[in-house]
C-alpha cells in the first residue's frame, strides 16, 4: 500500500540533499565562465569579429556594423517560444511520437500517483528510468529501476529536484548516449557521451576516487568537466548492478564506470564520432529542426552503434536541447577531431540566419 506521508517525509530529506548538491555545482561557475569567455573570444577571432565583455557574463560580438549578444552557451539564434516548448520533456515526447520518431515507451505520473507508475512498470519488461518532466543536466534522473523499492526511492529523488511538476517513467534503452548537433538542419558534430568513470590506482576505493576526481575537476584550472561527480541513486544502483559498491578498489589504471547518466562525465569519457555517423542521422535532425522551426538544436539519442539507424537497433531519441551546451563538443578525449562549433555558429549568425538576431551598430545600447 502506498504510504504518501512516508514519501513526503523522504521528499523533504531529498530536497535538502538536492539543495546541497546545487550549492556544490555553483563552485564550478568560475570554470564555466572562463571556458566560455575563451571560447567566444577564439570563435570571434576566427570569423574576423570584435568581442567585448559587457558584464554579467554577456559578450557583444560585432562584425560589419552588426552585433550579437552571447552568454555562456546561449545565443540569440532561436525564438523564446522555441526555447519554452523544448524545455517540456512531456510535450516534446508527444510531438516526437506523433511524428513517428523512435522514443522510449513512457508514462507520466507524480509522487501522489505512484501506483500509476507501478502498474505501468508491471505491464512492461526490462529496466526503467525515472526523471523529472523538466530540467537539464541530468538532475533527478535515476536509471536501473527494476523493482518497487527502487521505484519509490527514484520517484522521491526526481520529485525533490523540482517543484510541483509531473514525473516520467520510461523504458531504459541499451547503448551509449550520443549528442547530435545541428545548425540550420545540417549535422555538424556527434559526441559519444560515455558513462562517468574514475581511474583506479590499486589502492583507493571508488568513494575516495570520486572525491579525488572532484578535487581535480575543481582545482586544475582546466575544463575537465563543468559538474562534480555526485554519489546519487543512479550511482548506487549502477554499482550494485555491476557487483560493486563505494568501497570497491579498482585496479591500477582501470577506468571504472560509476553511474549510467552521462551528464557528470569528464573529458576522457567523451569522443567526437561524426565521421562514423550513418547518413540517417543527417535526415533525422533536418526533419526535426524543420518541424520545430529550430536553427541550433542538440538531439540526445541512446544507441548501441552510431553507424546504424535507430530503427534497426532499437535506439531512441531521449531529449531535444535548445540552446544546446556547446562545451560538450570541446571537452572531448580525441582533440584532433574537434569541430569548430563556435566559429560555425557565428558565421551562420552573421551571414545566413533567416531570423536576424543581430543589433545594428547605431542602435546597440552597449
Cell of 285: 535532425
Q: Measuring CA to CA, how many Å separate 24 from each of 28, 228, 361?
A: 8, 7, 40
The domains of the chain are located at: 9-76+340-366, 105-172, 201-259
Q: Measuring CA to CA, how many Å separate 306 from each of 56, 185, 191, 258, 329?
A: 39, 19, 10, 23, 16
Q: Which residue has the cell 560509476?
A: 258
Largest CA distance in the chain: 67
* Tens of pLDDT, residues 100-139: 999 999 999 998 899 999 999 999 989 999 999 887 677 8
Pure H helices in the chain: 4-26, 29-46, 80-86, 89-98, 114-123, 148-160, 206-219, 233-241, 280-292, 341-351
Mean pLDDT in order along the chain per 10 residues (366 residues): 50 49 63 94 98 96 92 87 74 88 94 94 95 81 96 91 81 97 97 98 97 87 83 96 98 98 96 98 95 92 98 95 94 96 95 62 54
**Which pairs from 115-122 meet CB under 8 Å and 24+ separation?**
115/2, 117/151, 117/155, 117/167, 117/169, 118/148, 118/151, 120/169, 121/145, 121/151, 121/169
Give residue 202's Cα distance to chain centre.
31
DSSP secondary structure letter of residue 56? T
Alpha carbons within 13 angstroms on the beta-carbon side of residue 350 total 22
- The answer to whether the Cα torsion of 290, 292, 295, 300 is positive or negative is negative
Q: Measuring CA to CA, how many Å separate 266 from each of 20, 78, 145, 227?
A: 21, 29, 25, 9
**pLDDT score for 1:** 44
Q: Measuring CA to CA, how many Å separate 117 from each of 57, 166, 173, 317, 335?
A: 42, 12, 18, 21, 43
CATH classification code of 105-172:
3.30.1490.20
Q: Measuring CA to CA, how many Å separate 253 from each of 55, 56, 219, 256?
A: 43, 42, 21, 9
Q: How large is the C-alpha radius of gyration of the chain?
A: 21
Give the contacts of 222 (CB within 8 A, at least 6 positions apart): none
**pLDDT score for 352:** 73
Q: Are 50 and 61 contacting, i.e. CB atoms less than 8 angstroms apart? A: yes
**pLDDT score for 139:** 82
Cell of 3: 504510504
Q: Which residue has the cell 541512446?
A: 302
Instruction: Name which of 100, 105, 84, 73 is nearest 318 in CA terms.
Output: 105
**pLDDT score for 343:** 97
**pLDDT score for 25:** 55
Instruction: Name which of 70, 75, 44 is nearest 353 in CA terms.
Output: 75
Amino acid at each position: 500500500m502506498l504510504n504518501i506521508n512516508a514519501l513526503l517525509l523522504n521528499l523533504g530529506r531529498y530536497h535538502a540533499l538536492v539543495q546541497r548538491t546545487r550549492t556544490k555545482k555553483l563552485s564550478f561557475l568560475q570554470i564555466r565562465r572562463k571556458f566560455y569567455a575563451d571560447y567566444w573570444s577564439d570563435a570571434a577571432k576566427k570569423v574576423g569579429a570584435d568581442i567585448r565583455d559587457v558584464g554579467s557574463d554577456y559578450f557583444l560580438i560585432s562584425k560589419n556594423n552588426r552585433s550579437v549578444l552571447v552568454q555562456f552557451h546561449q545565443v540569440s539564434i532561436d525564438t523564446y517560444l522555441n526555447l519554452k516548448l523544448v524545455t517540456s520533456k512531456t510535450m516534446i515526447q508527444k510531438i516526437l511520437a506523433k511524428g513517428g520518431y523512435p522514443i522510449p515507451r513512457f508514462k507520466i505520473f507524480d509522487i501522489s500517483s505512484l501506483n500509476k507508475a507501478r502498474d505501468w512498470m508491471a505491464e512492461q519488461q526490462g529496466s526503467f528510468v525515472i526523471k523529472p518532466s523538466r530540467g537539464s543536466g541530468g538532475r533527478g534522473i535515476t536509471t536501473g529501476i527494476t523493482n518497487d523499492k527502487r521505484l519509490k526511492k527514484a520517484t522521491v529523488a526526481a520529485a525533490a529536484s523540482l517543484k510541483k511538476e509531473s514525473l516520467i517513467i520510461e523504458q531504459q534503452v541499451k547503448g551509449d548516449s550520443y549528442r547530435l548537433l545541428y545548425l540550420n538542419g545540417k549535422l555538424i558534430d556527434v559526441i559519444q557521451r560515455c558513462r562517468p568513470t574514475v581511474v583506479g590506482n590499486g589502492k583507493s576505493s571508488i568513494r575516495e576516487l570520486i572525491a579525488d576526481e572532484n578535487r581535480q575537476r575543481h582545482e586544475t584550472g582546466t575544463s575537465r568537466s563543468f559538474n562534480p561527480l555526485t554519489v546519487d541513486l543512479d550511482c548506487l544502483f549502477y554499482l550494485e548492478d555491476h557487483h560493486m559498491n563505494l568501497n570497491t578498489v579498482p585496479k591500477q589504471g582501470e577506468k571504472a564506470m560509476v553511474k549510467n547518466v552521462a551528464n557528470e562525465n569528464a573529458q576522457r569519457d567523451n569522443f567526437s564520432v561524426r565521421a562514423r555517423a550513418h547518413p540517417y542521422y543527417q535526415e533525422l535532425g533536418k526533419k526535426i529542426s524543420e518541424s520545430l522551426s529550430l536553427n541550433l538544436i542538440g538531439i540526445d539519442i541512446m544507441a548501441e552503434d552510431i553507424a546504424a539507424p535507430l530503427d534497426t537497433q532499437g535506439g531512441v531519441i531521449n531529449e531535444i536541447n535548445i540552446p544546446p551546451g556547446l562545451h560538450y563538443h570541446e571537452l572531448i578525449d580525441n582533440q584532433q577531431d574537434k569541430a569548430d562549433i563556435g566559429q560555425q555558429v557565428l558565421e551562420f549568425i552573421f551571414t545566413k540566419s533567416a531570423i536576424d538576431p543581430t543589433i545594428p551598430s547605431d542602435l546597440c545600447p552597449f
